[in-house]
Structure 1
């Protein structure tokens, strides 16, 4: 079970490695969870801490289920790396790259979106978010119980949805292309591309467990690393179980990033 992180001391052996990377989820980790996904924003204090880490030579990489354009807009930093969609689209050295096979799925999810439009009438509060090659169905604002089950039933009836892989997250069900791409593969690629010798990984959701698993594998191969779960009342217990340490919400992340800046030589 992960331990609550109350001091930067346990992370110092990782922080002293060079090159050092900070690899983090965005929603629920850097930015507070809000009722409407389009209203989410990274607080100024966290953005400034990320900027200061990058200015001190830390390789900051953000791994998210958001689209690349949305992630860059939320964070507001271009001189960091992004792996979006998640891991299907990357932003490295101010250049966009797409995963092999991505083109086949960049538009075809729209028939599936059409099949699911009726959910907003049958389950008030359900919200669809088209991410290009991905389609997310949010039920945080759904009225009454049974929203998740209704979404899964609708996906089961949609022939267009059968081409995609279903992934669940915090109050959300997502359709993803059936490609070998997740937050774990994105993390492996970023560690290799950035040549990291040390890495601190932050996440709060079920989809972030893939990052933590990839970090464990990289540690077995010699990387110094630590996985930090960002916990909350609605976070799945599996996330904490997969991590080394915990902090409480984005406020805890702000504290951690500030302490990292102070600990840098």
Structure 2
């Protein structure tokens, strides 16, 4: 397995991305600029982190977040006006102050809501499970369950037997199962769209989870084709799958180290 290198032992290799207002800085939220907590409602982005991101925007105008959360939820967490916001793993984004959603995605919303109702009914006896309606997708959180792996298997088995699930995409993340439309963007394709639309030549991407591997993989591919210079940074933990690490160039150990890296990016 290819192991990423510890970022702070190799900062010189990132000098070409620093102090360049054509460099894009794109980050995930949960587990990257916000600590992983028992429930999604408890997650916060510290004021220190927000202030550091604002400094990033001063030097790197194309700075943004790509998250599994809804656009509204992401904005409420950060409240940074000029930041690029991409929500629901790329299914929606803010452009010129307006939320844009792929029209092909919208027809699946009623189906997702119907499946969500059935999942809630089937799993209503599992008090440790939390359900999150994100508008364009639906998430089952089982982090609070003592027997998390067993609950995961039960939930996936129930979902697989529901007729609606055959028409939708079922994906997993850190102690979550997500129901999404079978079309539209993932973090990789939305990053590629961002690169093409903004003529990005350099990009730093930061993430920690399975869906971030889509972005890592896409950027590695574009890098090899010399279409963009990129660097992938993973916040590594015991929950980070090996294939996510394999597609990262460097790793850090915590959200605090992401903030430290951002400070290095803004340091003259």
State TM-score, norm by structure 1. Answer: 0.94
Paired positions, count: 263
Deviation at 1:142, TM superposition (A): 1.4
Asked whether 1:103 is paired with 2:106, we answer yes
What SS is found at the alignment partner of 2:263? helix
In 2, distance between residues paired with 1:241 and 1:230?
A: 13
Q: What's the counterpart of residue 70 of structure 1?
A: 73
| Aligned pairs for 1:78-227 within 5 A | 78-145=81-148, 146-219=150-223, 220-227=225-232
Structure 2, unaligned runs of 5 or more: none
Contact 1:108–1:133, Cα closer than 8 Å, also in 2 = no
What SS is found at the alignment partner of 2:135? coil
Deviation at 1:3, TM superposition (A): 0.2
1:261 to 246, 249, 266: 266
2:247 to 242, 247, 260: 242
In 1, distance between residues paired with 2:235 and 2:95?
A: 26
State TM-score, norm by structure 2. Answer: 0.93
Q: What's the counterpart of residue 231 of structure 1?
A: 236
Deviation at 1:119, TM superposition (A): 4.9
In 2, distance between residues paired with 1:256 and 1:194?
A: 24
When the two chains are superposed, the root-mean-square deviation of aligned CA atoms in Å is: 1.6
Structure 1, unaligned runs of 5 or more: none
In 2, distance between residues paired with 1:17 and 1:217?
A: 23
In 2, distance between residues paired with 1:121 and 1:108?
A: 20
Contact 1:230–1:247, Cα closer than 8 Å, also in 2 = yes
